[in-house]
Structure 1
Amino acid sequence: MEGLRKDAARNRARIVDAAREVAAQGEPLALNAVARAAEVGVGTVYRHFASVEELEEVLVWDRFEELGEILRTPTGPVLEPALRAHFTLLAADEVFEKVTARATPALPQTAAMRQDLIEELAALLERARSAGEVHRGIDAPTVLLLMCGLAHAVRSARLSPQSAPAQELLQVVLRGLRSAGA
């Protein structure tokens, strides 16, 4: 952590690691619970993260980078493999889906990462439009919301993203995005 004392950087790393564990166990990311798991005082957590939203966002920055890579590396048919990977990431990580769907990010870095994601998705959609794969009226923010909503529905139904029912739901969304000639 640039600009942090060594002990503060260590505490921040402990907090983030503890938050990952709390989230992985399916528990809510309450700052008090994260402080207990990190074995630091709640004041220490608040010095690093003013809100649960900030902590959630930091936890998924690597997911934004991972998804950006997927969107920038099209292989074969441009759109479908990227959206399948996008859906899988969102469905597998509740915090990532929550942060991605959030109307207004808490941190400027998250806002920038989300905007980059939307721009990458827009470029992917434009390539798919040029190839005649998607409707002209479909835009990146709409697709992002569709993927978040689908991931949320699949997780709420306690389905694995790879399960047959989840894949069928994804296929319905993908069919809906395709242009008539695709």
Structure 2
Amino acid sequence: MTERVRADHGSTVGGLSIQMSRLLLVCLVVATAATGALIITILVGLPPAHPPPGPNGLPPPPPDLRPLATFPVVTGLFVLSWLSVVVVFSRDQILQRIRQVQREPEVAVQRVDELFAELRSQLAADRERELRMLEERIAELTTEYGEQRETDGYLSGLRVATTEDPAGKVHAIRRERRPGG
């Protein structure tokens, strides 16, 4: 009973089980702090858009850009902290699924066997359909080749028959054997 209670301490939102591990909580706190630091850096560190005029009507002095040097560092921390939240959340989800499969191995094996059987039947149906299409295409090509050869033979015969000296162009397949030679 304690194992089941310990395993079910996450909440489920739309089929997605959110399991709050210590590492995820730490990453969320760091990411929130990095977000706050980025907001403060943007508000405090950016020079004003319209600086006050200088003394005696002179142009204003150039803005101090030293606070902007921290901006890339704080932005990098912001991005890395939220990236770590995503990675740790994904890791927790994967570990939870692995634990589920380990608790119910018969169900998982049965489901995998069902998926494999379905895949095999789909592959067999695809193979049969492709074989049928291949047989039809081979029959079509054979018929087309036979008709082409027949047409070529007919036209060749007509050409030989319409020439002036058809006997000179026609060659016997078998040569006549001469006696004694």
TM-score, with length taken from structure 1: 0.23
Q: Which has the larger Rg?
A: 2
